[in-house]
Amino acid sequence: MLTNFLIGAIALGVVLLYGCLGETLMEKAGQLNLGIPGIMCMGTAGGCFGAAQYMNGLAAAEDAAWLPLILISICFSILFSVLTGLIYAFLTVTLRCNQNITGLAITTFGTGLSQFIMDPVYVPRDRFGAASALFAKGFVNDPDANGVLRIFFSHGVFVYLAIALAVLFAYVLKRTRLGLHLSAVGESPAVADAVGINVTAYKYGAILIGSAVAGFGGLFYTMDYLKGSWENASTIEAFGWLAIALVIFTLWRPNLSIFGSILFGALLIAAFVLGGSSSQKELLKLLPYVITVLVLVFTSIRNKKENQPPAHLGLNYFREER
């Protein structure tokens, strides 16, 4: 069970990691996006839509090939989540509307629309069993194989993609000019603007790329973890909120996010692995949130500059006010 526990923790962690990476990118640019739950749902709907299109275009479910399936799903997922993120970007960056309100509206809209799209009329799921087998195909697929090998090598492509993206984001943010400019935009857009950085372009870019990445989280959850089944958007929406918490928990650092998200994933299922009475389980379910609060408190008390949120987070930039 330890093996299954760790694999489950990594799987749920990856769902959160995608949302966290997307939100981190946006927050680095100064955009607090409470619409991530809705964007994650839309990315899921998009990816599933793409997968259904591909699978139903085949003569038989067994003809499905890994590369075209994954690519088509990714493309549609990006399309849907980016369009949703575009609404947020337009409203908050161009029209400079309140970020919190807009984000909440996006979550309401995105969860509803994704649920609507996932109706079996638009996304027929009868061939998703075969499709999900491809999503989940790892290097080691035998459920009876050695535990350690399974923990590291049995995951589907989206798990490895998530970790690769996290490492990439960490590198870009810390060591490239692009990343430093982005941080500048989030810290002090007025200053960034004054030295010629295109604040609007960076914000849009962060939001759109972040949306695309976040959307993969839900897609992975539905097609890999749940093997292609979907009932409603509520579970992915809940993950979205947890991902937003994770951003703070991991101090806006993508490489920390990898470990933080797996820890959260573990806490989410700990109650069911350990067993115990109903009331004990409820206490265990609380742990991720309590720990996030503790981290919030701890980092603000110590008040180290590099652990603080971007200074201009949640505030819109209007040049004439500078």
In the region spanning residues 145 to 204, those forming contacts with other proteins, defined by CB under 8 A, are: 191, 194-196, 198, 200
DSSP 8-class letter at 307:
G
Nearer to other proteins, 73 or 292 (CB): 292
State how far Cα 147 lies from the chain centre.
27
CB of 170 to other proteins, least distance (A): 21
Residue given tokens 């992915």 in the structure block: 236
Residues 6+ apart with CB under 8 A from 18: 40, 162, 165, 213, 214, 215, 216, 217, 218, 220, 243
With contacts defined by CB under 8 A, name the span among 72-80, 105-113, 206-214, 250-258 that binds other proteins.
105-113
Question: What is the C-alpha to C-alpha distance for residues 220 and 222, in angstroms, rounded to an integer?
Answer: 6
Is there binding between residue 139 and other proteins (CB under 8 A)?
no
> In the range 114-133, which residues lie near other proteins by CB under 8 A?
114-116, 119, 126, 129
Per-residue mark of binding to other proteins, 33-72 (x: CB under 8 A): ----------------------------------------
Half-sphere exposure (Cβ direction) of 94: Cα atoms closer than 13 Å? 9
Nearer to other proteins, 168 or 238 (CB): 238
With contacts defined by CB under 8 A, name the span among 159-167, 208-216, 252-260, 274-282 that binds other proteins.
274-282
CB of 280 to other proteins, least distance (A): 8
Half-sphere exposure (Cβ direction) of 282: Cα atoms closer than 13 Å? 2
Which residue from 6, 78, 212, 248 is in contact with other proteins, where contact means CB under 8 A? Answer: 248
> In the range 76-95, which residues lie near other proteins by CB under 8 A?
87, 91, 95
CB of 168 to other proteins, least distance (A): 25
Half-sphere exposure (Cβ direction) of 227: Cα atoms closer than 13 Å? 3
Assign 3-class secondary structure to 66-80: HHHHHHHHHHHHHHH
Is there binding between residue 255 and other proteins (CB under 8 A)?
no
Q: Among residues 257, 248, 85, which one has the least CA distance to residue 169?
A: 257
